[in-house]
Amino acid sequence: MPTGQRPRIVIIGAGFGGLSVVRSLRKAHVDITVIDRTNHHLFQPLLYQVATAGLSPGDIAHPIRSILRSMTNVHVVLDDVERIDNADRLVVGSHATYPYDALIIATGARHSYFGHDDWEAFAPGLKDLNDALLIRDRLLRTFEEAERFVGSDLLRELLTFVVVGGGPTGVELAGAIAEISRKTMLPDFPRLSADDIRVVLIEGADRILTSFDPRLSTRAVEQLQSLGVEVVVGGIVSNITATSVTVGQQVIPTRNVLWAAGNRASSLIGTLTAPKDRAGRVLVNDDCSLPGYTNTYVIGDAAHFEQDGRPLPGVAQVAMQQGAYVGRLLARRPSRQAPFRYKDLGSMATIGRARAIVEIGRLRLSGLLAWLMWAGLHVVQLISFRNRLRVLIEWGWYYVTFQPGARLLLRERNRRPS
């Protein structure tokens, strides 16, 4: 607990950004309070595998308190932050208020429907474990329902999966859904045939995975198509209902739409008076500090950081590097340090079993080798040996048997609105 002697640093959010701040303050003479709405740190890059029944929530999440247990200068609390009181330097939560000398806001992002919030009921997004379990339930329930409607038009509607958004998450979701639909579900549902299943990936730009080299986008499209995914580029979604998605002039009848298109900074960011971009992210200074606020920093998906005239992408790497930067800055305050600069260590996306693309500087890979790099990198990044072992077993098992490990219907009340 804050002694009042040492500077009190409050960190909101225990994602990649928040935790990297804490780690870089490991040896600093400060009192740290970490506030999160949930009790676990989530390894978001693998969240889509929970949504597609490949991994269990416990495989990619770890209690924040256990992660930080060894750090005696850290106090972890479960709370919902409602607002920041800059004048009195207080974080106001639903359970308590937390005084601070320095504040780091690392609250990440939720998905955004570009003003069509009514779409969310029909097109859930994927940001936390609850989202993933909801999507998993709908996915599994769909096949059970479909079998009851063999021969009717409803069958096609049910088994048409539309993923909106051709970024890494959308690509990974579309690939995984196409793969488990054919390889895992069909053998369990003898009355359904591969022709009944349709997976469509819709991207508004002229190509998917725009953050990658165009050649890799092409590879990704080929790999998706080899899994039976229809890729639509330049497709603007104008409407989503319980039974259809409208793309340009085309209406796709479907009961399964997933949203991977847009992000919006968390609701707490909305309460800040600082200038924001269209996605609701606050425009931060070159040291990640928040204009108009005292000793307040915003990092990760909640921040709009301009570098070389372009905002940094919303990826874990940016959040972690910003977290480390702010941590160093706080450790030896008040001395000024050079502006933050993001160093792109490369990016990867996986499309399915043994399918992925990797771009590291000039190096570009696709296919099995890329997938092995992707798998290796993600496993070592997982927190705790146990999670690494579990995920490796899951992947190995799935690689051989196509039997993902978490095909469980849990929420009986989880009915699709229609």
List residues with catalytic annotation: 172
174 contacts 229 by C-beta, under 8 angstroms:
yes
Binding residue for a copy of itself (CB under 8 A) from 29, 234, 389, 399?
389
Between 194 and 408, name the residue whose CB sits nearer to a copy of itself: 408
3-state secondary structure of 120: helix
Among 6, 23, 66, 307, binds a copy of itself (CB under 8 A): 66
Among residues 109, 140, 229, 261, the one that binds a copy of itself under rule CB under 8 A? 140
Tokens, residue 201: 């990936």
Q: Binding marks (x or -) toward a copy of itself, 142..181, rule CB under 8 A?
A: --x--xx---------------------------------
Size of site (CB under 8 A) for a copy of itself: 45
Nearer CB in complex with a copy of itself: 360/389: 389
For the chain, the maximum distance between any two Cα atoms, rounded to a whole number of angstroms, is 73
The verdict on 194 binding a copy of itself (CB under 8 A) reads no
Closest Cα to residue 125, out of 189, 63, 51?
Answer: 51
Radius of gyration of the chain (CA): 22
DSSP 156-210: HHHTEEEEE--SHHHHHHHHHHHHHIIIIIHHH-TT--GGG-EEEEE-SSSSSST
Contact window for a copy of itself (CB under 8 A) among 8-16, 101-109, 139-147, 304-312: 139-147
Among residues 6, 23, 26, 38, the one that binds a copy of itself under rule CB under 8 A: 38
Piece of the chain touching a copy of itself by CB under 8 A; list 84-92, 102-110, 136-144, 333-341: 136-144
Q: Which residue's entry shows tokens 């429907």? A: 113
Contact 322, 340 (CB under 8 A): yes
- End-to-end, the C-alpha distance of the chain in Å comes to 50
| Cα atoms found within 13 Å of the Cα of residue 121, Cβ hemisphere only | 8
> Using the rule CB under 8 A, is 82 a contact of a copy of itself?
no
**Is residue 133 a contact point for a copy of itself (CB under 8 A)?**
yes
Query: Which region holds residue 209: left if phi is over 0, alpha if psi is between -120 and 50, else beta?
Result: left
Q: Does 409 bind a copy of itself (CB under 8 A)?
A: yes
Tokens of 219: 């590879």
Considering only 96, 121, 236, 363, the residue that binds a copy of itself (CB under 8 A) is 96
**Candidate list 2, 22, 40, 355; residue touching a copy of itself; CB under 8 A:** 40
Please, what is the minimum distance in Å from the beta carbon of residue 33 to a copy of itself? Answer: 12
The token pair at 307 is: 């570098």
User: What distance in Å separates the CA atoms of residue 65 and residue 69, rounded to the nearest whole number?
Assistant: 6
**Binding-site ranges for a copy of itself (CB under 8 A):** 1, 37-40, 56-59, 61, 63, 65-66, 69, 77-78, 95-96, 129-130, 133, 140-141, 144, 147-148, 187-189, 191, 384, 386, 389-390, 393, 397, 403, 405-412
